[in-house]
Amino acid sequence: MPPVALIVAAFATSVSILISTTQNQGILKEKLRLKFQPDKFQGDKKTHRYFEGWYYKFVSSDQYNAGTFDNKDASESSQTSMAVVPGIFLGDTADSTESHAFIFVTINGQRQHYYRFPLHQFSYANSSEQYYIQIGDNRFSHEGVSLNIYPQEKDDASLIMTGNLTFHSISPWPVSFFGLGAMGPVGWIPGLECTHGVLSFDHELKGSLTMASATRDTYDKTSPITISMDGGRGYTEKDFGRAFPSMWIWIQTNSFRNNPGTSLFVSIARIPIPLFGWELPGFTAAVWHDDNLIPFATWSGARFEELRVSKDEVRIVIRSGKRNDKSNYRVELIVDRRDVPEVLLYAPVNHTKMEPFVSEALRARVHMRLTSFKGEILIDDVGDNTGLEVHGEVQWLVDNVCEKMSKKSLICL
């Protein structure tokens, strides 16, 4: 964990930069208010080299085959898991023709449907309004979503999706002065390449979505099907910044078989530190259980005991603090990625355009064991419909686990 002095210095630098570069005190106040509202659009003053996306995940409660639309084996029947991601991308220059708003959809991790919208169809709440974003006829908020998505010319999509879902009992990562949600105090460092937020670890879904398949040229439709999401579970997170990290591991599920409402989130990455030119390993992770947050993060003093990655599985063991600390927890994860379909998601490339290059699975499976400092087993369960991304040369992350290093580094995993 970075020394406290480094965090305090970073915070002071952040505030001083804001003050020194902001003539209008109203703009300064707006920026500071948005720091404590990570759900809202952060890029109001951005004109280029910027992205922001909100990741909405929905998992149905019923066993239902939605494979008609994504080439899934028709004999396979299981819960429907999907991600719907609205966002905005601003290209390399202020007048870039690549700048656009977007929505992408993936169902069961089989393929992605990417829809482009002109920037003027993107609207959002300011810091004094209740959170929402709207892209075309599609609205997203903490209360739910209203969807009316269909492919236009040049969209990389063949799916029509309409419907309304409402969310009940959302559970965001708490935000405070010393802990800006998932980023903790690190969120105060100015100029971060990418900032992450967890807007709801878990919530209940109500409503339904209707889907049909259509070709872009003829709009010939398959017979639509309607999937009930009543009693299903939802999850929401977001990212914003200039670019994605060069490498990362991301794991998420809130579909534990014997612990409904429990959620797991893990993000490990190589992080460029502005001003200093450093690239450091870092992670933020948490278990949400019984309405309690158990953080495991670089900034909270957590440490890896094990990190192994192969084509078949990802193995992780993290302790949240010192071994003799009464508030210490230990989490063991084994993610099974064998024969799990992956889809290429669109992401910003070289600040110039959005292209499909990030592989994501939505149907991995994770075995999680959470224990207290006394060794008491709090959770020993399997999470289905696990989102998994392993991107870039992640062996560098494996090699930077503190427990493995012969020479300890100031900052390691």
State how far the Cα of 410 lies from the Cα of 282, in Å rounded to an integer. 12
Helix axes 25-35 and 4-21, enclosed angle (nearest 10): 150
Among residues 142, 140, 83, the alpha carbon closest in space to that of 110 is found at 83
The pLDDT score that the predictor gives to residue 133 is: 97
Domain count across the chain? 1
Assigned domain for 115 exists: yes
Q: Is the pLDDT of residue 26 over 60?
A: yes
- What 8-state DSSP symbol labels residue 376? -
Among residues 124, 59, 48, the alpha carbon closest in space to that of 86 is found at 124
204 pLDDT band, cuts 50/70/90, is: very high
**Cβ-Cβ contacts under 8 Å for 130 (sequence gap 6 or more):** 141, 142
- What 8-state DSSP symbol labels residue 186? G
Assigned domain for 139 exists: yes
The pLDDT score that the predictor gives to residue 373 is: 84
Assigned domain for 81 exists: yes
Element spanning 82, H or E: strand 81-90
Percent of the chain residues topping a pLDDT of 70: 84
Assigned domain for 42 exists: no
Q: Cα dist. 16→75, 127, 195, 257, 296 in Å? A: 60, 21, 20, 48, 30
The pLDDT score that the predictor gives to residue 326 is: 64
Backbone angles phi, psi at 68, to 5 degrees: -55, -30
Could you tell me where the DSSP H helices lie in 230-379?
A: none
Across the chain, mean pLDDT equals 87
Average pLDDT over residues 144-170: 95
**How many Cβ atoms from other residues are within 10 Å of residue 130's Cβ?**
10
Assigned domain for 84 exists: yes
Q: Give the pLDDT confidence of 163-182 residue by residue, as tens digits.
A: 999 999 999 999 998 889 99
Among residues 143, 55, 163, the alpha carbon closest in space to that of 105 is found at 55
State how far the Cα of 119 lies from the Cα of 121, in Å rounded to an integer. 5
Backbone angles phi, psi at 72, to 5 degrees: -75, 145
DSSP, collapsed to helix, strand or coil, labels residue 139 as strand
Assigned domain for 25 exists: no
Assigned domain for 325 exists: yes
Assigned domain for 197 exists: yes
For residues 26 and 237, which has the higher predicted lDDT (pLDDT)? 237
Average pLDDT over residues 15-44: 72
| Enclosing domain of residue 153 | 48-404
- What 8-state DSSP symbol labels residue 392? S
For residues 111 and 74, which has the higher predicted lDDT (pLDDT)? 111
Q: What is the number of residues in the chain?
A: 413
Left (φ > 0), alpha (ψ -120 to 50) or beta: where does 61 sit?
A: alpha
65 pLDDT band, cuts 50/70/90, is: very low
Q: What tokens appear for 252 in the block?
A: 């998420």
CB 355 within 8 A of CB 346: yes
Among residues 316, 289, 320, the alpha carbon closest in space to that of 303 is found at 320
For residues 374 and 370, which has the higher predicted lDDT (pLDDT)? 370
CB 146 within 8 A of CB 207: no
State how far the Cα of 387 lies from the Cα of 119, in Å rounded to an integer. 29
**Cβ-Cβ contacts under 8 Å for 319 (sequence gap 6 or more):** 296, 302, 303, 305, 328, 329, 330, 331
Which segment of 75-84, 139-148, 196-205, 342-351 scores lowest on mean pLDDT? Answer: 75-84
Positive or negative, the CA dihedral 139, 141, 146, 152 is positive
Q: What tokens appear for 314 in the block?
A: 């990802």
